[in-house]
């Protein structure tokens, strides 16, 4: 029987004991063959995952003492879903967007109390078929280098600064590789039958050109999308790479999701080193970068310095987005969240009141601006 298992052992970090070409290809293969159920819910922990090609995807979770699984089954060429626990079993459906909808009808009184106690009706789940295994943050100091591909920094403007960070052993180093091929994973049925590895086009992205330390963890993150889990409540994350206004933006949003879901409160500090980050022209948020530069540079630092009016406009949009459009929609995840956004000598502070548990702080800062 043709099968492929992805268990919790896969959560171990990748290493560059092999050459970079082999490691990068292995990362792409893993990303394109990892099927998992992703659920967003306060205090919900993803524990392990299993994918048997042609049969099912099963992801195990724990929520405040309740252990359960969400299982996606392929039977008679149809995709179905189940919620499975010792005290509660629910049927479910999966729509075209791969969102899972649970059926809460005909519950016993005890089952209804369990659903209410864990607020399961508020849990949002979907099937992730182009997400790599979760990125586990284990140390307080984290360096995330996003998409070190030549197509984004063709002339290596940021290489020297990024390589300096990789020599600092005080960081947990993470590299995220881009991959256009995730679009071929969109059909859930075909993915479950054969994975995306067997339907891959020519790889479009070059290998990382920076020198990466042997302990660096490598993951696939198409357009900056991935899942974060963490073991500490207080974390300092430093971003380098590109692009500031697209892939790093997306990844920051995912980082905020992981922080609120996996930590019990604490402080998340996010720092962007603009001397080690490039920007692209356009994005789904904010003004166009390369239309606002006064000389030929894609380094975020140079673009900001060349046009104060543009820099101020960018920061006004981004500080509002993280506060209102992102954190403001996560109020069930915290009781109080203190938010700060600093650029240059300007600092914006706000307190967001939620209706969940825990006291959180999120501080966003830019250096070498």
141 has a pLDDT exceeding 80 = yes
pLDDT, tens only, 342-365: 999 999 999 999 999 999 999 999
Q: Is the pLDDT of residue 1 over 70?
A: no
CA gyration radius, the chain: 21
Greater model confidence, 83 or 34: 83
Q: Does domain 135-367 have CATH number 1.10.10?
A: no
Given this model, what pLDDT does residue 24 score? 86
Mean pLDDT of 20-26: 82
How much is the pLDDT for 361?
98
**pLDDT score for 338:** 98
Q: Is the pLDDT confidence value at 33 over 90?
A: no
Three-state SS string across the chain, please? CCCCCCCHHHHCCCCCCCCHHHHHHHHHHHHHCCCEEEEECCCEEEEEEEEECCCEEEEEEEECCEEEEEEEEEECCEEEEEEEECCCEEEEEECCCCEEEECCCCCCHHHHHHHHHCCHHHCEEEEECCCCCCEEECCCEEEEEECCCCCCCCCCCCHHHHHHHHCCCCCEEEEEECCHHHHHHCCHHHHHHHCCHHHCCCCCCCCCCCCCCCCCEEEECHHHCCCEEECCCCEEEEEEECCCCCHHHHHHHHHHHHHHHHCCCEEEEEEEEEEEEECCCCCCCCCCCHHHCCCCCCEHHHHHHHCHHHHHHHHHHHHHHHHHHHHHHCHHHCCEEEEEEEECCEEEEEEEECCCCCEEEEEEEEECC
- pLDDT of 260 higher than 90: yes
Question: What pLDDT shows up at residue 19?
Answer: 64
pLDDT number for residue 15: 38
Residue listed under structure tokens 């692209």: 280
Mean pLDDT, to the nearest integer, of 74-87?
Answer: 93
pLDDT on residue 127: 95
Query: What pLDDT sits at residue 11?
Result: 32
pLDDT(10) > 80? no
Q: Please report, for residues 36, 121, 250, 323, the alpha-carbon distance to residue 32 in angstroms, rounded to integers and kept in the order given.
A: 11, 30, 20, 33
Nearest one of 135, 139, 141 to 236, comparing CA atoms: 141
- The percent of residues in the chain predicted with pLDDT above 90, rounded, is 68
Report how far residue 256's alpha carbon sits from residue 339's, in angstroms, rounded to the nearest whole number. 12
Between 213 and 148, the higher pLDDT residue? 148
Domain spans in the chain, listed from the N-terminal domain onward: 36-128, 135-367
- Rounded mean pLDDT, 115-124: 97
Percent of the residues in the chain that have a pLDDT greater than 70, as a whole number: 89
Lowest mean pLDDT among 13-17, 96-100, 188-192, 314-318: 13-17
pLDDT above 80 (res 203): no
Tell me the mean pLDDT in the region 37-49.
96
Distances (CA, A) of 339 to 128, 347, 355, 369: 30, 10, 16, 20
Phi-psi group of 95: left, alpha or beta (phi > 0 → left; psi -120 to 50 → alpha; rest → beta): beta
Q: Which is more confidently placed, 273 or 296?
A: 273
Question: Average pLDDT, whole number, for the chain?
Answer: 88
The residue-averaged pLDDT of 67-77 equals 94
Contacts of 155 (CB under 8 A, 6+ apart): none
Q: Which of 199, 191, 194 is nearest to 79 (CA)?
A: 191
Report how far residue 106's alpha carbon sits from residue 65's, in angstroms, rounded to the nearest whole number: 24
Q: Is the confidence at residue 5, as pLDDT, over 70?
A: no
Higher pLDDT, 306 or 352: 352
Whether the CB-CB separation of 279 and 241 falls below 8 Å is answered with: no
Dist CA 355 CA 89 (whole Å) = 28
Per-residue model confidence (pLDDT) at position 7: 30
Size of the chain in residues: 369
Q: How confident is the model at residue 29 (pLDDT cuts 50, 70, 90)?
A: confident
Burial of 232 (0-12, 13-18, 19+ CB in 10 A): middle
Other beta carbons within 10 Å of 253: 17
CA angle, 267 as apex, 266 and 271 as ends, to 5°? Answer: 160
147-190: pLDDT as tens digits: 999 888 988 999 999 999 999 999 999 999 998 665 555 689 98
Span 304-330, mean pLDDT? Answer: 94
Can you read off the two tokens belonging to residue 56? 């099912």
Question: Would you state the pLDDT for residue 199?
Answer: 61
Instruction: Please report the pLDDT score of residue 112 as a whole number.
Output: 96
């Amino acid at each position: 029987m043709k099968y492929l298992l992805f268990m919790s052992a896969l959560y171990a970090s990748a290493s560059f004991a092999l050459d970079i070409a082999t490691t990068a290809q292995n990362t792409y293969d893993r990303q394109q063959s990892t099927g998992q159920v992703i659920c967003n819910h306060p205090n919900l922990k993803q524990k392990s995952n299993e994918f048997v090609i042609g049969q099912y995807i099963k992801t195990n979770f724990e929520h405040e003492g309740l252990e359960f699984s969400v299982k996606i089954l392929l039977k008679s060429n149809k995709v179905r879903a189940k919620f499975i626990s010792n005290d509660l079993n629910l049927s479910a459906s999966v729509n075209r967007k791969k969102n899972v909808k649970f059926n809460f009808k005909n519950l016993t009184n005890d089952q209804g109390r369990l659903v209410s106690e864990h607020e399961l009706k508020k849990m949002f789940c979907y099937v992730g078929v182009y997400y790599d295994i979760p990125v586990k943050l284990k140390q307080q100091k984290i360096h995330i280098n996003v998409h070190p591909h030549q197509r984004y920094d063709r002339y290596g403007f940021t290489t020297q600064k990024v390589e300096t960070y990789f020599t600092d052993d005080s960081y947990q180093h993470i590299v995220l590789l881009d991959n256009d091929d995730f679009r071929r994973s969109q059909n859930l049925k075909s993915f479950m039958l054969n994975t995306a590895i067997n339907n891959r086009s020519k790889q479009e992205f070059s290998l990382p050109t920076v020198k990466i330390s042997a302990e660096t963890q490598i993951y696939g993150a198409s357009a900056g999308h991935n899942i974060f889990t963490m073991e500490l409540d207080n974390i300092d994350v430093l971003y380098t790479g590109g692009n500031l206004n697209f892939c790093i933006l997306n990844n920051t949003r995912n980082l905020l999701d992981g922080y609120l879901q996996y930590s019990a409160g604490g402080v998340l500090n996010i720092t962007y080193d603009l001397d080690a980050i490039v920007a692209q022209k356009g994005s789904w948020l904010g003004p166009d970068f390369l239309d606002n530069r006064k000389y030929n540079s894609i380094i975020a630092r140079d673009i900001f310095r060349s046009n104060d009016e543009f820099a101020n406009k960018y920061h006004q949009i981004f500080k509002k987005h993280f506060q209102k459009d992102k954190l403001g929609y996560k109020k069930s995840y915290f009781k109080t969240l203190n938010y700060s956004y600093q650029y240059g000598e300007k600092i914006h502070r706000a307190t967001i009141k939620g209706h969940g548990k825990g006291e959180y702080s999120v501080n966003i800062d830019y250096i070498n601006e």
